[in-house]
């Protein structure tokens, strides 16, 4: 008998397996596909590989700004896909070696839970004291007429294209949709984004999302908000998306249509209903220990409610196995950093201004533009700003960045929000010059009313 069977080897499952082994558990890890799950094989890593291709291409379009001359610049989509596959293969191999090194028994196949402590896979049954479900999520396909037409794809299929579509219509203006819109715009596609809600990236701070809308327009990416898709239809050799917005019907020609309308938990074949595991709208319900309504069966990651983020799944995996071992590990969901790999990048942690105000918190807001940051000017990347939200005691409760390397800059902010540090804790810390991180420092100083590189505000 094993101590723990984990179903799903994505960032939640394989990290949980490693931590469980560190705690002395005998672990089996079942995976029906490739190690690393969606994140490594069809999500985070492949898209970041393409994002880097896109970033290089965008720089090449601005060579004259850097007084650099080059000729015969081209882009090979098939080569980019092959590079992406090599990166994925290297990381998958690394996970395999890690699991082997820790003594995790990796079992290929599709798992079904026969009963608490009993899992079927490949015609055999394995027993364990506890079971951890970490099966992740899959693209949610909306009930739109025409979604089954050739050329209508999810993010999984878009990553496997060998040619760049001339026209790409993205249905959905969330993180996935905006990232792919920016990437394929850089690759040379004419991109249109259709979003049903009033704003793209609706979960983020509104000032940040509205700035992003301006930057998308500068890149000639068409965005239609408050617009619902009525149907997708074949039009000659291509496709046409018919949608209705506030100004009436719009018709968008496309070679490829991307369905970027979110994701849903993947729990097919597990047998949850027969086991009596309680779910809500497809999400498995858990208690503070990540244990389901059936004792001995636990769940983490995208199959439970919360941020559908790889790093959250990993932290939940660690927390779940530590709770099994009697340790008191709690995930701080108020300090989860999130990133959008767009042009420019977006990153945030903590409360948005709207969330803070809706909770009745008396806030102070500090801002600093990258246009006034020396490193950003030297890089030629001056779009965006850093926005800091603090409470009346100047405890920093939210940080929002849109601009160069936002995904890297958010790390410091995550530590600050997680530890409930005050503005004085940050402003009293020397930041190296010249760096992009100084923009965060200046935004914090602005909370205190003493930004050094901003003009004085009236009344101060």
Mean pLDDT calculated for residue range 329-352: 97
Strand partners, 5: 28, 131
Q: Is the pLDDT of residue 119 over 70?
A: yes
Distance CA 136, CA 188 (A): 32
Whether residue 371 sits in one domain with residue 428: yes
| pLDDT value of position 457 | 76
Whether residue 272 sits in one domain with residue 385: no
Is the separation of the CB atoms in 233 and 213 below 8 Å? no
Distance CA 304, CA 287 (A): 11
Feature table: binding site for NAD(+): 172-179, 195, 262
**341: closest CA among 139, 51, 41?**
51
Whether residue 116 sits in one domain with residue 13: yes
**381: closest CA among 343, 423, 414?**
343
| pLDDT value of position 324 | 97
Strands 2-7, 27-31: pairing is: parallel
Confidence category of residue 94, pLDDT binned at 50, 70, 90: very high
Choose one of 261, 294, 313: the last residue of a domain. Answer: 261
Terminal Cα distance for the chain, rounded:
69
> Does 432 map to a domain?
yes
> Residue 452: is it exposed, middle or buried by C-beta count within 10 angstroms (0-12/13-18/19+)?
exposed
Q: Is the pLDDT of residue 460 over 60?
A: no
Whether residue 112 sits in one domain with residue 61: yes
Q: Is the pLDDT of residue 72 over 90?
A: no
Is the separation of the CB atoms in 113 and 134 below 8 Å? no
> Does 74 map to a domain?
yes
Give the lowest-confidence range in 64-73, 253-262, 284-293. Answer: 64-73
Distance CA 450, CA 152 (A): 52
**pTM for the complete prediction?**
0.96
Condensed to tens digits (0 to 9), the pLDDT of residues 201-233 reads 999 999 999 999 999 999 999 999 999 999 999
**311: closest CA among 351, 347, 272?**
347
What rounded mean pLDDT belongs to the chain? 97
Q: Which two tokens stand for residue 100?
A: 């082997």
Is the separation of the CB atoms in 258 and 158 below 8 Å? yes
Q: Is the pLDDT of residue 376 over 60?
A: yes
Phi-psi region of 420 (alpha: psi -120 to 50; beta: other; left: phi over 0): left
Count the alpha carbons within 13 Å of 412 in the hemisphere toward its beta carbon. Answer: 21
Q: Is the pLDDT of residue 459 over 90?
A: no
Is the separation of the CB atoms in 376 and 434 below 8 Å? no
Q: Which two tokens stand for residue 105?
A: 């028994």
> Is 180 strand, coil or helix?
helix
Whether residue 285 sits in one domain with residue 213: no
Condensed to tens digits (0 to 9), the pLDDT of residues 407-455 reads 999 999 999 999 999 999 999 999 999 999 999 999 999 999 999 998 8
> Does 458 map to a domain?
no
Distance CA 305, CA 351 (A): 18
Q: What CATH number corresponds to the domain at position 401? A: 3.30.390.30
Q: Is the pLDDT of residue 95 over 80?
A: yes
Whether residue 118 sits in one domain with residue 20: yes
Whether residue 299 sits in one domain with residue 161: no
Feature table: binding site: 48, 135-137, 172-179, 195, 262, 302, 308-311
Q: What CATH number corresponds to the domain at position 23? A: 3.50.50.60
Q: pLDDT exceeding 90 applies to what percent of the chain?
A: 97
Confidence category of residue 52, pLDDT binned at 50, 70, 90: very high
Mean pLDDT calculated for residue range 317-339: 97
Whether residue 134 sits in one domain with residue 7: yes
Whether residue 163 sits in one domain with residue 76: no
Catalytic site positions: 433
Q: Which helix (H) or strand (E) holds 410?
A: helix 406-418
With b for 16 or more beta-carbon neighbours within 10 A and e for fewer, the 70-96 pattern comes to eeeeeeebeebbeebeeebeebbeebb
Please work out, in degrees rounded to the nearest 5, the angle formed at the alpha carbon of residue 151 by the alpha carbons of 77 and 243.
120
Q: How many domains is the chain partitioned into structurally?
A: 3
DSSP state of 285: P
Domain with 317, as residue range(s), is: 2-139+264-325
> Does 76 map to a domain?
yes
Q: Is the pLDDT of residue 377 over 70?
A: yes
Q: In sequence order, what E strands does 383-453 have? A: 385-391, 396-403
Whether residue 100 sits in one domain with residue 160: no
Whether residue 274 sits in one domain with residue 132: yes
> Does 331 map to a domain?
no
| pLDDT value of position 282 | 96
> Does 72 map to a domain?
yes
Condensed to tens digits (0 to 9), the pLDDT of residues 163-175 reads 999 999 999 999 9
Q: Which two tokens stand for residue 234?
A: 């074949």
Feature table: binding site for FAD: 48, 135-137, 302, 308-311
Place of tokens 């002395």: 24
Q: At what angle do helices 44-60 and 175-187 cross, to 10 degrees?
A: 40
| pLDDT value of position 385 | 99
> Does 332 map to a domain?
no
| pLDDT value of position 347 | 99
Whether residue 87 sits in one domain with residue 73: yes
What are the backbone angles phi and psi of residue 220, rounded to the nearest 5°? 65, 35
Upstream peptide bond of 257 is cis (omega within 30 degrees of 0): no
DSSP state of 300: -
**381: closest CA among 65, 160, 5, 118?**
65
Condensed to tens digits (0 to 9), the pLDDT of residues 276-296 reads 999 999 999 999 999 999 999
| pLDDT value of position 261 | 96
Q: Is the pLDDT of residue 111 over 90?
A: yes
> Does 256 map to a domain?
yes
| pLDDT value of position 207 | 98
Q: In sequence order, what E strands does 288-425 have? A: 297-299, 338-340, 345-350, 363-369, 385-391, 396-403
Distance CA 31, CA 111 (A): 8
């Amino acid at each position: 008998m094993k101590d723990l069977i984990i179903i799903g080897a994505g960032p939640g499952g394989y990290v949980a397996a490693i931590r469980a082994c560190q705690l002395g558990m005998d672990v089996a890890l079942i995976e029906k596909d490739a190690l690393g799950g969606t994140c490594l094989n069809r999500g985070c890593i492949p898209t970041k590989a393409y994002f880097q291709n896109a970033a290089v291409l965008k720089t090449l379009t601005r060579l004259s700004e850097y007084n650099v001359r080059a000729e015969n610049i081209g882009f090979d989509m098939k080569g980019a896909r092959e590079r992406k596959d090599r990166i994925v293969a290297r990381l998958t191999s690394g996970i395999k070696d890690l699991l082997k090194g820790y003594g995790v028994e990796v079992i290929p196949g599709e798992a079904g839970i026969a009963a608490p402590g009993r899992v079927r896979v490949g015609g055999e049954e394995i027993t364990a004291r506890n079971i951890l479900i970490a099966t992740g999520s899959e693209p949610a396909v909306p009930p739109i007429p025409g979604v089954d037409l050739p050329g209508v794809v999810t993010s999984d299929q878009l990553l496997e294209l060998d040619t760049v579509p001339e026209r790409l219509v993205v249905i959905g203006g969330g993180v996935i949709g905006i990232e792919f819109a920016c990437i394929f715009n850089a690759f040379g596609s004419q991109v249109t984004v259709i979003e049903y809600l009033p704003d793209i990236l609706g979960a983020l701070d509104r000032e940040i999302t509205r700035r992003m809308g301006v930057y998308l327009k500068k890149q000639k990416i068409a965005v239609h908000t408050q617009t619902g898709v009525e149907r997708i239809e074949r039009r000659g050799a291509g496709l046409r998306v018919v949608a209705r917005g506030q100004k009436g019907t719009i018709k968008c020609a496309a070679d490829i249509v991307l369905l970027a309308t979110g994701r849903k938990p993947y729990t097919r074949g597990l047998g949850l209903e027969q086991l009596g595991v309680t779910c809500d709208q497809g999400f498995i319900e858990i208690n503070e220990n990540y244990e389901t309504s059936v004792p001995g069966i636990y769940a983490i990651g995208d199959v439970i409610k919360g941020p559908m983020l790889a790093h959250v799944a990993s932290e939940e995996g660690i927390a779940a196995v530590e709770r099994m071992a009697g340790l008191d590990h709690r995930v701080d969901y108020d300090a989860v950093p999130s990133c959008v790999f767009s042009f420019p990048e977006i990153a945030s942690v903590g409360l948005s201004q709207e969330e803070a105000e809706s909770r009745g918190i008396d806030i102070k807001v500090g801002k600093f533009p990258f246009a006034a940051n020396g490193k950003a000017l030297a890089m030629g990347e001056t779009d965006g700003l850093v926005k800091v939200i603090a409470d009346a005691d100047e405890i920093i409760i939210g940080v929002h960045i849109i601009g160069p390397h936002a995904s890297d800059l958010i790390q410091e902010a995550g530590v600050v929000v997680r530890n409930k540090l005050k503005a004085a804790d940050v402003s009293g810390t020397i930041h190296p010059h010249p760096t992009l991180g100084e923009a965060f420092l200046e935004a914090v100083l602005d909370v205190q009313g003493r930004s050094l590189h901003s003009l004085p505000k009236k009344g101060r």
